[in-house]
Amino acid sequence: MPRLTLAALLLMMAPAAHAACTAPTPPPASEKPVKPALPQKPACLDAKGGCPGWEAYTYNDGIKAYNAQLGPFRTSAEAYARKLKAYADGSVAYANCEMQSMQ
């Protein structure tokens, strides 16, 4: 019985074997959000006389739609940025693990 206890004690005191380092996986590029396109500015906006009412209203509606799309884009972009940061942090941890495994 004392030998068994001594063997168990020695096993617990032995340095722990290093687990295999796991390389991180980057987020898929297909998840990268695409920024909405600004509506084409009509040439008449810069003209001296301005735009006819319908063209100004159409452009204004396009700007409103663009602004409405910016909120969801920002949410998606921030989520993708968090995934990229996690990948970068995981890469550092992986590199440190590999360096420690060579010691």
Which residue type does 63 have?
Answer: I
What pLDDT does 72 receive?
A: 96
Task: Output the pTM of the full model.
Answer: 0.67
What pLDDT does 21 receive?
A: 92
Domain segments of the chain as ranges = 30-101
Confidence band of 45 (pLDDT split at 50, 70, 90): confident
Mean pLDDT of the residues in the chain: 84
63-92 burial, b if ≥16 CB within 10 A, otherwise e?
eeeeeeeeeeeeeeeeebeeeeeeeeeeee
Which stretch of 8-12, 45-49, 80-84 has the lowest confidence by average pLDDT? 8-12
